[in-house]
Chain A
Amino acid sequence: MSVLKTENITMKFGGLTAVKDFNLELNQNEIVALIGPNGAGKTTAFNMITGVYRPTTGSIIYNGQRIAGLKPDAITRLGLARTFQNIRLFKELSVLDNVFIANHLHLNSNIFEATFRLPRYRREKREKLQRSEFLIEKLGLKEFMNEKSSSLPYGLQRRLEIARALATDPKILLLDEPAAGMNPKETDDLTAFIKEIRDEFDLTIFMIEHHMHLVMGISDRIYVLDHGVTIAEGNPYEIQNDPRVIEAYLGVSEDAED
């Protein structure tokens, strides 16, 4: 069953077309990867889906609803949550607060009830604290609960971003290079972990990743972008043997050698 579909979404920045006619389809509980050389337009595609950018043209359909042009918070409310390639934690705040804040959107209490700690707020707060603590424990961050988030090592900051995204209670989780900066052991753990949360939280996962080992081991399907254009789409086996994909990647490594 398709949960998210983009129809020819295109993003232009002035004269530069960062993404051109991108057609994505995510099915319930799939793990789908988006790969491509640096600057291919992967993060831009994410930004369009999550509302950070409004697509220049094209439409995005989530569970039958058109969401292109909605604000990021409205999209998150509908059930799409994300992490960021260049980590964007609330740096000065504790690990617990980072996750707790991601529950705020589901709060029914108004600001008056919250300030004066009226019963409804107290009940909601208790629930949301419990859930935050559960997610923090789930991601192995329990001992850092009250630490400032910026004091965590890089790998743990990435995990905290996942905990925070999960706290919004998403249906689709978008991960932008979750394994960046992780060592091989951590990357392997992450692979297992992504599958685990997919099953436990009934998620559909769409991720950008450069670690081919991780991508090939976990993805049901893969999209390949190069210079904003989708050059291939298929299962890991098909992608590994696609001459255009090989060329795109070889092309990049040749460039890098100059």
Chain B
Amino acid sequence: MKRRNIILTSISILLLLVFIFVADSSFDAYKVRILNLCAIYTVLGLSMNLINGFTGLFSLGHAGFMAVGAYTTALLTMSAATKQQNFFLAPILPPLDRLNAPFLVALLVGGLLSAFVALLIGAPVLRLKGDYLAIATLGFSEIIRIVFTNTQRITNGALGLKAIPSTTNLWWSYGAAAFTVVIMALLISSSYGKAFKAIREDEIAAESMGINLFKHKVLSFVIGAFFAGVGGGLLGSLMGTIDPQMFKFAFTFNILLIIVLGGMGSITGTVIAAFIISSAGELLRFLDQSINLGFVVIPGISGLRMVVFSALLMVVVLFFRNGLMGTNEFSWDKVIGLLQRRPLIKRRLGQ
């Protein structure tokens, strides 16, 4: 049994590697971009699901963490010359002008800075519960955005950063997604992950069973923020441009949509939903543009895509509260069980 699962997993990983190789070398730029987004949204979705889905904290500050990661990674990977071109209104603050790091280091520093920010705001904010926590974290992410708009000499203010080296490719994004999936799966199945779930299920009971609520909430929040920062860094490098407007609440909302659709508290669900939402996000882009049906041109309504997404969220919340997966996870045993069920019935009928 165990052997079979190892073999199946190995085959799947191999197939994925072959797929990435083929996609990387022969797919057109548009398709590659969508595939990249799918993987990056997986990282972002998992990071938010740890906080909101597994630990049950109603946090809406995700865009703030992504912004910290995206700006850090961008500033660490841009060359001195590019930085000089970007910062034409006010010169960049030294030593930022010369700071430079390889992409991997830049991503990790972005994640760590984001985690550090989470630690700073987590200390006061995580004492709040439910709606209050949501409001406070939402406020935090708006503050980050406004700070970034005004720290002209660090972030280039409202102009944003342009010509960020586009290092993100399928290997980076799928590597990061796989890394995040593995770490999350290990964390969630450990004693700490179970303590997170206990907090989600019943805070009073968890506390009475000796779980230090504050410590565990901070851990979950900080780890989630780390991965959000990494995801933000990958995204910035994929886009090539970032500015404070990108990190508005709508961004957090998109990630929220992924975890609600996939199932709060399911890694598998988040991965599936990340693929659905990021593909749909690109494929439905035509909704925002004018549609030419040959005989008549329907003028584009910008923001229509967002309306579709919001409606989708409402439908999920109203009719499928558990999302695609609930709190269930993928396993080979389940898949094979499903595949075998049919022949089994046939066999019985045949007797």
- B-binding residues in A (CB < 8 A): 50, 52, 71-73, 76-77, 81-82, 84, 88-93, 97, 100-107, 109, 111, 114-117, 121, 125, 128, 164-165, 167-168
Q: A92-B327, A114-B192 are in contact. Are A104 and B201 (CB under 8 A)?
A: no
Task: Evaluate whether A73 and B186 lie within 8 angstroms (CB atoms) in the complex, with A91-B201, A104-B194 already known.
Answer: no
B195 interface residue (CB < 8 Å to A): yes
> Are B191 and A125 in contact, CB atoms less than 8 angstroms apart?
yes
Asked whether, in the complex, the Cβ of A88 is within 8 Å of the Cβ of B186, the reply is: no
B187 at the interface (CB under 8 A from A): yes
Asked if residues B209 and A168 are in contact (CB atoms below 8 Å), the reply is yes
Q: In whole angstroms, what is the CA distance A161 to B219 when docked?
A: 27
Tell yes or no: B202 within 8 A of A by CB: yes
- The reply to whether the CB of B120 lies closer than 8 angstroms to some CB of chain A is no
The interface on chain B, measured as residues whose beta carbon lies within 8 A of the other chain's beta carbons, has a size of: 25
Q: Nearest Cβ in chain B — how far from A137, in angstroms?
A: 20
Minimum CB distance partner of B207 in chain A: A72
Given the known interface contacts A73-B213, A104-B194, A117-B186, the answer about A82 and B208 at a Cβ–Cβ threshold of 8 Å is yes
Instruction: Decide: B201 and A115 in contact? CB cutoff 8 A.
Output: no
| Interface assignment of B62: CB less than 8 Å from any CB of chain A | no
Cβ of A90 and Cβ of B197 under 8 Å apart? yes
Does B325 lie at the interface of the complex (its beta carbon under 8 Å from any beta carbon of A)?
A: no
- State A128–B191 Cα separation when bound (angstroms): 10
Inter-chain CA distance A185–B9, complex, in Å, is 51
Given contacts A101-B198, A114-B191, A117-B186, contact A84 B205 (CB under 8 A): yes
Contacts of A91 in B (CB 8 A): 201-202
Q: Please count the residue pairs between chain A and chain B whose beta carbons lie under 8 angstroms apart in the complex.
A: 103
Taking the nearest CB of chain B, how far is it from the CB of A24, in angstroms?
19
- Pick from A76, A106, A128, A167: contact of B208, CB under 8 Å: A76
Complex Cα–Cα for A165 and B210 (A): 10
Smallest distance from the beta carbon of A54 to chain B beta carbons, Å? 14
Asked if residues A50 and B208 are in contact (CB atoms below 8 Å), the reply is yes
Q: What's the least CB distance linking B38 to chain A, in Å?
A: 25
CB distance from A71 to the nearest CB of B (A): 7
Which residues in A have their C-beta under 8 angstroms from that of B205? Answer: 84, 88-90
* Residue pair B210, A76 in contact (C-beta under 8 Å): yes
B190 within 8 A of A: yes
Contact of A104 among B183, B191, B213, B265 (CB under 8 A): B191
Most central of A50, A73, A168 by chain B CB within 10 Å: A73
CA of A73 to CA of B209, assembled, Å: 6
Any A CB within 8 A of the CB of B34:
no
Task: List the 3 closest pairs (A to B, CB-CB), nearest first.
Answer: A105-B210, A90-B201, A88-B205
B211 within 8 A of A: yes
The distance in angstroms between the C-alpha atoms of A52 and B211, with both chains bound, is 13
Contact A92-B209, Cβ < 8 Å, known A107-B191, A117-B186: no
Please name all residues of chain B whose beta carbon is closer than 8 Å to the beta carbon of A72 when the two chains form the complex: 204, 207-208
Whether B209 pairs with A164 at a CB distance below 8 angstroms is yes
B150, CB-defined interface residue at 8 Å? no
**Complex CA distance for A194 and B66, rounded to whole angstroms:** 53
Contact check, A76 vs B201: say whether CB atoms are below 8 A apart.
no
Q: Is the CB of B198 within 8 A of A90?
A: yes
> Once the chains bind, are B209 and A71 in contact (CB under 8 Å)?
no
How far, in whole Å, are A82 and B192 apart by their CA atoms in the complex?
Answer: 22
Q: Does B212 lie at the interface of the complex (its beta carbon under 8 Å from any beta carbon of A)?
A: yes
A71 neighbours in B (Cβ, 8 Å): 207, 212-213
With a cutoff of 8 Å between Cβ atoms, the chain B residues found around residue A93 in the complex are: 194, 197-198, 201
| Contacting residues, chain A, for B211 (C-beta < 8 A) | 73, 101, 104-105
| Between-chain CB contacts (< 8 Å), 22 pairs | A52-B208, A73-B209, A89-B202, A89-B205, A90-B198, A91-B201, A92-B197, A100-B194, A101-B211, A104-B209, A104-B210, A104-B211, A111-B190, A111-B192, A114-B187, A114-B190, A115-B186, A115-B192, A116-B186, A117-B190, A121-B191, A125-B191
**Mask of B160-200 contacts with A, CB within 8 angstroms, 1/0:** 00000000000000000000000100110011101101100
* A107-B191 Cα distance, complex, nearest whole Å: 9
A115 close to B210 (CB less than 8 A): no
Min CB–CB distance B127 → chain A (angstroms): 12
How near does chain A come to B297, taking the closest CB pair, in angstroms? Answer: 51
In Å, the complex CA distance between A163 and B249 comes to 44
Would you call A73 and B210 a contact (CB within 8 A)? Answer: yes
| CA of A107 to CA of B83, assembled, Å | 49
* 18 more A-B residue pairs beyond the given contacts A71-B213, A76-B208, A101-B211, with a C-beta to C-beta distance below 8 A: A71-B207, A73-B209, A76-B209, A82-B208, A84-B204, A89-B202, A90-B206, A91-B201, A93-B194, A101-B209, A104-B194, A104-B211, A111-B192, A114-B191, A115-B187, A117-B190, A121-B190, A128-B191
Distance in angstroms between the alpha carbons of A3 and B220 in the assembled complex:
37
Q: Report A111 CB to chain B, min CB distance, Å.
A: 5
Q: Is the CB of A97 within 8 A of B212?
A: no
Q: Which residues of A contact B207 (CB under 8 A)?
A: 71-73, 76
User: B257 CB to closest chain A CB, in angstroms?
Assistant: 22
Interface of chain B residues 225 through 272 with chain A (CB within 8 A): 265
Q: Which residues of B contact A125 (CB under 8 A)?
A: 191
In the complex, chain B residues whose CB is within 8 Å of the CB of A84 = 204-205, 208
Is there an interface contact between B183 and A115, defined as CB atoms closer than 8 Å?
yes
Chain B hits for A121, CB < 8 A = 190-191
Evaluate contact between A115 and B190: CB separation under 8 angstroms.
Answer: yes
Taking CB atoms, residues of chain A closer than 8 Å to B213 are 71, 73
